[in-house]
Amino acid sequence: MSKKQTVIFRSKPVITGSFSIVGPKEGKGNFGAYFDKVIEDDAFGEKSYEKAEKKMIESAIEGAVKNAKLKPEDIGLLLSGDLLNQIISSSYAARNFDISFLGLFGACSTMAESLAIGASMIEAKLFENVVCATGSHFSTAERQFRFPLELGNQRPPTSQWTVTGAGATVLSKQGKGPRITMATFGKVVDWGVNDVNDMGAAMAPSAMDTMLAHFRDTGTTPDDYDLIATGDLGKLGSEILIDLMEEQGIKLGLNYNDCGQMYFARNQNTLSGGSGCGCSATVLNSFIIEKLRRGDLRRVLFMPTGALMSTTASQQGETIPGVCHAIVLESDAEVKHQRVIVAQPTKFGTKNVGNEKQETEKITTTTTTSTDKPTRAKANKKE
């Protein structure tokens, strides 16, 4: 059933498997304890960073299928995309799987785009199991969209650090796990930003547009969600979104945060935070899905944003369009805890906020303006 831009899934496709793999810098960030695998070097044993990115996507797909207790032959469709020209990381990874492949490009919104399409396929009873995947690599993105790595260019304060990582999710017709209940398909929005080092400002208007459409179509408000997570607006983009929503009469509260802003610790020198397809994909397929499985989070609005630019268009003086797709994920676990503690971005910094201390663990998620890391009970750490 659809309402303008939003699809409501009656079958509520299930997340039966997930997997996240990241680089060494990402492993030292705020979500390091949650990732399934942290590689020792950015090259991942390959001769080029592009081959390393492809290998990470392959690993994420294999890991998600294994965690879903399925075999590759049980998967009906693979949905994947990335940032590189002709989405080579995804398409070259797909050639190693005997699975039908649908290549996508939504830039950094690709994780939500693939989940929205995958859930729609299951809702239509076309497939029983699909895999949704994406990834990025700092070194491949920098030399494709900005400057050769060898130049060692200085990065302005508004710039973000492309996450080296990949995430994959298995969606199934039936099973146990968090469910996708709604998807809001975003429109392309362009407010005239042309600075390739200011992605947050370029994408924030599309996040506002999709968020307004979602609340309008579903009749929900920010208070209906335990967590609203945009993908990679970073510190500046998050503040812009908060201001834009307030101008529309909607105040984003303590349950809003951005994956890019939360990703790295302050001493990692990533300036405005994380970005890239792998940013929201690895946070979703580690921290968010685990908290949904445990019942720490009951309902999440996941909203990755994408900057739909190209080097050719930028060199011709074009501005940077943005797009944002939204996914609603709901836990099927029994209620164990109150709302997870998140860090609320403000114009004057960040602060950790949340409900009363939980009985079995204290969860703190910090942003790029804090050196603290998420902590949890040692027994809960993923092996």
Cα-Cα-Cα-Cα dihedral of 11, 75, 329, 203, to 10°?
-120
Predicted pLDDT of residue 100: 98
- Look at residue 374 and tell me whether its pLDDT is greater than 80: no
Predicted pLDDT of residue 342: 54
Q: Is 328 helix (H, G, I), strand (E, B) or coil?
A: strand
Residue 109: what are its φ and ψ, rounded to 5°? -90, 5
CB burial string 25-61: b at 16+ within 10 A, e below? bbbebbbbbbbbebbeebbbeeeebbbbbbbbbbbbb
What token pair was written down for 299?
Answer: 């309902």
Task: Using alpha carbons, select from 61, 58, 204, 82 the residue that is nearest to residue 141.
Answer: 82
CA distance 55 to 57: 5
* More confidently predicted of 159 and 164: 164
- C-beta of residue 196 within 8 angstroms of C-beta of residue 309: yes
> Between the CA of residue 46 and those of 54, 77, 133, 144, what are the distances in Å?
10, 27, 21, 19
Q: What single-letter amino acid sits at 205?
A: P
Average pLDDT over residues 89-104: 97
How many CB atoms neighbour CB 199 within 10 A? 32
Average pLDDT over residues 278-284: 97
DSSP letter assigned to residue 189:
B
CA distance 340 to 262: 14
Q: Helix 234-247 vs helix 199-218: angle between axes, to the nearest 10 degrees?
A: 40
pLDDT band at 368 (very low <50, low <70, confident <90, very high): very low
Count of alpha carbons within 13 angstroms of residue 29, beta-carbon side: 33
DSSP symbols for 17-57: EEEEEE-HHHHTSTTTTT-SEE-SSTTTTSSSHHHHHHHHH
Predicted pLDDT of residue 339: 52
Q: What single-letter amino acid sits at 197?
A: N
Q: What single-letter amino acid sits at 204?
A: A
What structural domains and CATH numbers belong to the chain?
A: 2-380 (3.40.47.40)
- Look at residue 40 and tell me whether its pLDDT is greater than 60: yes
Antiparallel, parallel or unpaired: β 326-330 and 179-184: antiparallel
* More confidently predicted of 177 and 317: 177
Average pLDDT over residues 20-24: 98
Cα-Cα-Cα-Cα dihedral of 275, 355, 372, 168, to 10°?
-40
pTM of the entire structure?
0.87
Name the β-bridge partners of 133.
Answer: 80, 168
Average pLDDT over residues 107-124: 97
DSSP letter assigned to residue 204:
H
DSSP letter assigned to residue 287:
I
Q: Is 220 helix (H, G, I), strand (E, B) or coil?
A: coil
Task: Using alpha carbons, select from 22, 21, 30 the residue that is nearest to residue 264.
Answer: 30
- Look at residue 323 and tell me whether its pLDDT is greater than 70: yes
Q: What is the pLDDT of residues 117-155, one digit of tens each?
A: 999 999 999 999 999 999 999 999 888 776 777 777 777
Residue with token string 């924030």 = 204
pLDDT band at 3 (very low <50, low <70, confident <90, very high): confident
* Lowest-pLDDT choice from 145-149, 203-207, 242-246, 247-251: 145-149
Q: What is the pLDDT of residues 170-209, one digit of tens each?
A: 999 999 999 999 999 999 999 999 988 888 999 999 999 9
pLDDT band at 382 (very low <50, low <70, confident <90, very high): very low
